[in-house]
Structure 1
């Protein structure tokens, strides 16, 4: 009887072992299928994975036919492998989904607002239906008209509307009580803050309405040289919202030669904005108010290039990325202090907060914004070098998970996967070079701000020409 019981126990263990091994097999097939469909890994790596997983399954399943306690070892081993496979399956599916969420952006958002004075009693738009509204007619006319129509629909009647020649005149009319509410694009708040002291503290947003506009995608082969526009913005709302661009870097990438050229263009560069300002000039940073595509068009016209992709990053994501990478090593041209941090000439190991302070400082340098642009390039170079190293494998999931709400790109998941696949296939280190456009400071009236004189930088034509030539050389190098 005892032998019969022991025999039944052994058969039970063997059956359990085979069952767990079959679960292991199903998870193996699932992981291989997900990795294959993601396009992240080269075929040679997937082939090695298939062989390894089949060998492990064969061992764990076959050992269940051995008439000894070794089958217990097989059960434990199969269970551990299954747990690892389940984790890998979840990790890969999550990474693919986040890349899908971050990539493939196809629209821009204009956040139109109605503002009143901070002590105004109206709690909502309906309470302001008898107010005198103001709107400016100089710029952004289409969005202003859409917003006027939306407000009238909400309040259920035609509004009392006053028109002003400039945004600043409209804002001053609100503050002086000549109108009760002002309508404009929230992206213009930065300009008003520069023009009117303490403007933000004197008003509050009563109502807002998002207007989405499609951005036409471009057909691009990521295996051929291409340009990416990296726009650094400072927004608290959705990353798709139009905003001034304080960081303007063009990344010229040649996948064949593994070479990258980072070109910084000062935010105050005094340029024409295609399709917006006509013959009048404006600051490059103001182009972002009209959409990331307008910033791209402006830089394309400046350098005579095509820009296929863009990536918009806010300051929160910079901190997240650097911390997730475990910090970065950044070269500084000077000793300086910023936002409570000290930086030495030479290599500095920086965390996220320190990297942000390093990137934003300009008042410590005689060349001001020019040196800030070089520092931003140094930070981006350090991020790229760290991201292309094996260190990225231990932190990639954390980075992807944390930056999904503060990074936006029109590069699709498939294109990102192909780039990662190419890098893993070759394993070759990239060469990163940098260039910075130069210019001469001045005070001029800008298209987006009316007659008010603002600090601008006239482009140095020789500098622009030389950079355009560098970009061409990187793209055409074989």
Structure 2
């Protein structure tokens, strides 16, 4: 191959490199990446100098083959960087778009011992449903799938009628089944013969703020599978952040806290976890009213995203204050420093019955794991594979935080406060079985009556975090 041909190939390679660098710089500026200490400007200047310098060297150099190998290497690295950056951008966009979607799954259920295997088998049979599910049921049980339904009010009564063969089948949705987790119903007795999704595109909840002071609601759903499926919120943590002072306050609210549920809860008293069935906005508004704070952002995850994330970072290390055995998994957790894997982390943060102070201790364990995850994710080896991590957990996480907003926070933190101070607290209360539930008026459920003194102290702490400069 002649020297002139190699020179022409190098010129073409430099043009390709230039196009890749333009793409990199475009994503950097669009998403506020490296916008600290003029790092983004430096990257742009270096990109221009690199392309011009390589062009000049090619024109003057006699050892063009060696230069070609160097340019191919630089182009490959730049292309890989562009690919990884593009993946991160698209993943954030997907999590944002999914954050505006809520899926209520409608299911037709029969006894496993019955002879009904498809929805047509229930034609002209007695099938019952909940009156609260009527609107979504009517959206999917139409045409050839239409059934004549008798509507009832109590969730447990439906299963009772099915068990005693007073009904051939029942129709439930994700919302009503989420509530049934508080009742003694056994799912393994039943068979689902039909299911369909009802997708609601909820009002956009993005509330971009330019201030370095903000609140983020962290919601953990007690379910596996698609994050958009309606479910209860089992983890409710409010992250009050002041980047000016570098202080963060993580506040856990018991899932059973007896509070006024906003939006679909009609501002009636119920346990906090039930707010999740009305959507993430209902949970946000409920906590806004409780703590008298404006909540700007949310991050919602479920069991699957949690276990995948723990596995991807190689587990986390926490200090366990008390020895216990998980009720469901039977895993033994010793007192002291322990390493949590994807198999043991979920039982650790879910357990409350085996703990001395029940839900209060569970909330503390959840905060420990979240802190450990933040520390693990900030390590250089995990930052380098951020695109892989996001790609694998994105189907199980929803948020209204844009990549641009996240980068603004990171840039601010790098320029002003290299180290964050994270403190934790938890709302206190007294357990009782004597309070009515708005969502389940016929059921006797465990509730935590909020301690007003504890509530006022937390409100004061939040205000102090946000008011300081």
Q: What TM-score do the two structures reach when normalised by structure 2?
A: 0.90
Q: For the structure 1 residues 54 and 152, does the alpha-carbon distance in structure 2 shift closer, same or farther, using more than 3 Å as the test?
A: closer
Task: Determine if the alignment matches structure 1 residue 394 to structure 2 residue 384.
Answer: yes
Task: Determine if the alignment matches structure 1 residue 439 to structure 2 residue 432.
Answer: no
**Secondary structure, in 3 states, of the residue corresponding to 1:52?**
helix
Contact map agreement 1:223 1:256 (CA 8 A) in 2: no
Partner residue, 1:28 = 21
Which residues of structure 1 form unaligned runs of 5+? 1-7
Contact map agreement 1:21 1:75 (CA 8 A) in 2: no
In structure 2, what is the Cα distance between the partners aligned to 1:28 and 1:89? 8
Partner residue, 1:62 = 56
**Secondary structure, in 3 states, of the residue corresponding to 1:353?**
coil
In structure 2, what is the Cα distance between the partners aligned to 1:67 and 1:260? 56
In structure 1, what is the Cα distance between the partners aligned to 2:361 and 2:184? 28
**Secondary structure, in 3 states, of the residue corresponding to 2:34?**
coil
Task: Determine if the alignment matches structure 1 residue 353 to structure 2 residue 343.
Answer: yes
Partner residue, 1:263 = 251
Contact map agreement 1:109 1:242 (CA 8 A) in 2: yes
In structure 1, what is the Cα distance between the partners aligned to 2:397 and 2:155? 30
Superposed displacement of residue 279, structure 1: 7.1
Task: Determine if the alignment matches structure 1 residue 198 to structure 2 residue 189.
Answer: no
Post-superposition Cα deviations, 1:75-119, rounded to whole Å, max 9, x if no partner, equal: 111110011111111111111000100124223222232222223
Task: Determine if the alignment matches structure 1 residue 98 to structure 2 residue 91.
Answer: yes
Superposed displacement of residue 31, structure 1: 1.8
Task: Answer with 399-408 or 263-272: which moved more.
Answer: 263-272
Superposed displacement of residue 19, structure 1: 2.8
**Secondary structure, in 3 states, of the residue corresponding to 2:433?**
strand
Task: Determine if the alignment matches structure 1 residue 430 to structure 2 residue 420.
Answer: yes
Superposed displacement of residue 427, structure 1: 5.9
Q: What TM-score do the two structures reach when normalised by structure 1?
A: 0.89
Task: Determine if the alignment matches structure 1 residue 52 to structure 2 residue 40.
Answer: no
Which residues of structure 2 form unaligned runs of 5+? none
In structure 2, what is the Cα distance between the partners aligned to 1:308 and 1:50? 33
Q: For the structure 1 residues 247 and 449, does the alpha-carbon distance in structure 2 shift closer, same or farther, using more than 3 Å as the test?
A: same
Partner residue, 1:124 = 118
In structure 1, what is the Cα distance between the partners aligned to 2:197 and 2:331? 39
In structure 2, what is the Cα distance between the partners aligned to 1:106 and 1:441? 35
Contact map agreement 2:159 2:185 (CA 8 A) in 1: no
Contact map agreement 1:147 1:209 (CA 8 A) in 2: no
If you compute each CA radius of gyration, which structure gives the higher value, 1 or 2?
Answer: 1
Contact map agreement 2:244 2:416 (CA 8 A) in 1: no
Partner residue, 2:107 = 113
Q: Which runs of 4+ in 1 moved over 6 A?
A: none
In structure 1, what is the Cα distance between the partners aligned to 2:140 and 2:96? 30
Task: Determine if the alignment matches structure 1 residue 473 to structure 2 residue 461.
Answer: no
Contact map agreement 2:206 2:401 (CA 8 A) in 1: no
In structure 2, what is the Cα distance between the partners aligned to 1:422 and 1:348? 34
In structure 2, what is the Cα distance between the partners aligned to 1:67 and 1:440? 80
